[in-house]
Amino acid sequence: MSAEKGSQAIVADTDDLQILYEPGTTDTAIVSFTGVGLELGGVQEIEFSRSLRSRSESHHVYFVTDRGRSWFNKTKDKIVESLAPLLLHHASVVTLGNSMGGFGALYFSGLFPNCRRAISFVPQFSVTLDSPEPRWIGWRSKIQPWIIQHALENLTDDAPSIVLFGAGKAEDIWHIEQFRARLGEPHALFVLPAGGHNVAKAIRRRGLLPRLIEDAACRVPASDLAQMLAAGGLKPK
């Protein structure tokens, strides 16, 4: 696998999974997990690419897409098999994702070598068919077998999680409650006053998303991240 800066190399490409790599200039790698992609007519667009490329000095990035929207039940082993040897070459690894991608960011943070932080926007705690989650039933009903029961199965203090939700989305309330009950220090859960399930977009509209990702990746304390968001009009609850 090789790629020039700004280009993408294929790490894995199957019916169920795509992993692309963009080289960077630092000793940090970000593994960015793609979400379901409903807002784009069903197309799973690579997320956070623009925010991750907003600096003159950029991190290495691996973009992971679970094409079957299996919440990584079908792709878990291939993801670890493909990425673990590559991530050993980076001094620091950060996982990142939104919604289903946020679920992946949390789940894999304890499975990847050198992982130092997880940044997760509006993740689901669990989407098993006996959970109270009402969304995406068309994809969830096809998942078999259920390898993953919930997002925090591999939670580790070695990779503190920053989990962000926006207020106002009823379907996210159960997930927020589950995370709030389980995430103590050094992890942090922020519920912001705007954005709902599109909280990452709300943060981006205020010009804060690149800085939030960069500061979190550099392991800035959660309290400082909260202050930065509050200064931008998004004071966490």
DSSP string of 63-86, one letter each residue: EEEETT--TTTTTHHHHHHHHHHH
pTM above 0.85, yes or no: yes
For residues 187-200, average pLDDT: 96
Asked if pLDDT for residue 89 goes beyond 70, the answer is yes
pLDDT at 5: 46
**Mean pLDDT, all residues of the chain:** 91
Nearest CA to 97 among 126, 77, 71? 71
The letter for the amino acid at 86 is L
pLDDT at 52: 61
pLDDT at 237: 87
Residue 100, token pair as written in the block: 């289903």
Q: Which of 44-53, 55-64, 158-167, 179-188 has the lowest mean pLDDT?
A: 44-53
Nearest CA to 132 among 169, 172, 103? 172
230 half-sphere exposure, CB direction, 13 A CA radius: 10
Domains and CATH numbers, the chain: 9-231 (3.40.50.1820)
Asked if pLDDT for residue 173 goes beyond 80, the answer is yes
Q: How far apart are CA 67 and CA 17, in angstroms?
A: 5
Asked if pLDDT for residue 19 goes beyond 50, the answer is yes
Residue ranges of E strands in 23-136: 28-33, 60-66, 92-98, 115-121
SS3 assignment, position 236: coil
Q: How confident is the model at residue 7 (pLDDT cuts 50, 70, 90)?
A: confident
Q: How confident is the model at residue 41 (pLDDT cuts 50, 70, 90)?
A: very low
Nearest CA to 98 among 194, 209, 177? 209
45-75: burial string, b at 16+ Cβ within 10 Å, e else: ebbbeebbeeeeebbbbbbbbbbbbbbbbbb
For residues 154-171, average pLDDT: 97
